[in-house]
Amino acid sequence: MEMKFWNAIVSCDQTYDGIFYYGVRTTGIFCRPSCPSRTPKQENVTIYADSDTPVRDGLRPCKRCRPDELLTPSIIQTAQAYLADHLADEMTLGKLAEKLYISPFHLQRIFKDETNTSPSKYLQDKRVQHAKQLILETELPIHEIAYAAGFKNAAHFLAVFKKKTSLSPTEFRSAH
């Protein structure tokens, strides 16, 4: 076993989550590198590149770190749902990655691979969609819609909205 994998297991390094998994023969379970469970004996550990192989080898996923939930489509769906539910929150890639228990680099890479956009662009698109809905369904002033949709200020909202729709929010409201 490579020393970097063993060191990641011993230090519960979450930056390796999704990069490899480890199985423990004596317990019959497999975990993520960041699992906070007791460190197993090195001679009982097998390293896996994906979460399917340990299952085929007869290991079950750890109930504590839930490595079976690290499958890419599941991560992306969870990230998208979290972003959609937290439109008005200040969001960073680090904060989102922390909620998903994976590294920011890994999240950025798999999100972009699966959706052809970054998490920040996805969030921005969702905020504009929400703003469109508010413009059409309410009589709220534009600056209140900007804050309700998660934009930090009205000027930024106006610039993003116009770039995405080719119309200002007021023009959009008038046209629809």
State the catalytic residues.
Answer: 31
Q: Residue 108's Cα: distance from chain center in Å?
A: 8
Q: How many helices (H) and strands (E) does the chain have?
A: 9, 4
Q: Hey, what are 40's tokens?
A: 């197993």
B/e letters for 120-158, b = 16+ CB within 10 Å, e = fewer, are eebbbebbbebbbebbeeeeeebeebbebbbbeebeebb
Identify which of 119, 45, 56, 113 has the alpha carbon closest to the alpha carbon of residue 87. Answer: 119
User: Which SS3 state, helix, strand or coil, does residue 122 take?
Assistant: helix
DSSP at 70: G
| Rounded distance between C-alpha atoms, residue 168 and residue 170, angstroms | 5
